[in-house]
Structure 1
Amino acid sequence: MNSIDLSPLYRSSIGFDRLATLLDSAMASQDQSKDYPSYNIEMFDEHCYAITLAVAGFSQEDIDIQVNKGVLTISSNKPENKEGNFLHKGIANRAFERKFSLADYVEVIDADLSNGLLTINLIKEIPDSMKPKKITINANNQVLEHKGKQHAA
């Protein structure tokens, strides 16, 4: 498995500790070549996304969707239907598990199963406290007193 050197990133950024873990897990899942079920990821604007999975033959009851610690997991334990005398069987209908790492503040809004497509809608809602704000320097020439603990020299 290939390794990526992230040391230049860490020299100029703070709080991206999760990045290395995300890259490692993405590379590991790529190596496992999980290609079932097929899926699309759409971006409608900078805050709205949708993941659509092709799940022909599955019902609502067959599919489980969970979010835990920033990971969206879509799975089914439905056993593969081996009945019938197929000359060709190109429509897979077996158990699966797909995982997607969600960025901070990305939340699942809802899910819809229609015409064999499972669509999961997501939105990124950044709290007001995390949005950029303008800091004025010495507003009205007031001297602000630092109320933090004094550091020993």
Structure 2
Amino acid sequence: MHVSVALLYVALMAAPECTSLPTKGDSVRITTHSIVNIAQITLVHISKLKTKLQVVAEIQVRTPSIEGLAGISRDLGRLESELRSPFTDLLGQVEADLSSLEGRVRSLAAAMNCTTQARPTAAAAAAGDHSFPHSRLYLTLVRVQHYLETLVQNKDKLKVC
């Protein structure tokens, strides 16, 4: 009898801790970790694509600085829209990765009450210059790679609006 009462007491006392929802801090930490993981996976995808494209020259690019969630969301949206192209489907996985990454950054920004700009439209991407499409896409791929490497190094900026 005493054993069953003791088990019932332990079960009732442990139940709230086992069933509690994650706190806002836990949610931010988990989402930040997820964003960094997606960025690292995307970098692997880019590395494989660069090998497939067999471009020898290393291109130096400039990317925006990492300042906070609003800027990261804006920059990822722009890079994703630059990757959309009717000329090749090679970059589809990287585009999907960036879309997922940008969505998670927006979600994190909303959870932290940060304001973000509207997502770039497909029309903005279609309006770009279509001369030398493979070179343009390679250049964009290198820009995405550089931006994600910078993001992973500056992951503390994911805690700033």
- Structure with bigger helix share is 2
TM-score, length of structure 2 as denominator length: 0.30
Larger gyration radius, structure 1 or structure 2: 1
Q: Which structure's residues are more often strand, by fraction?
A: 1
TM-score normalised to structure 1 length = 0.31
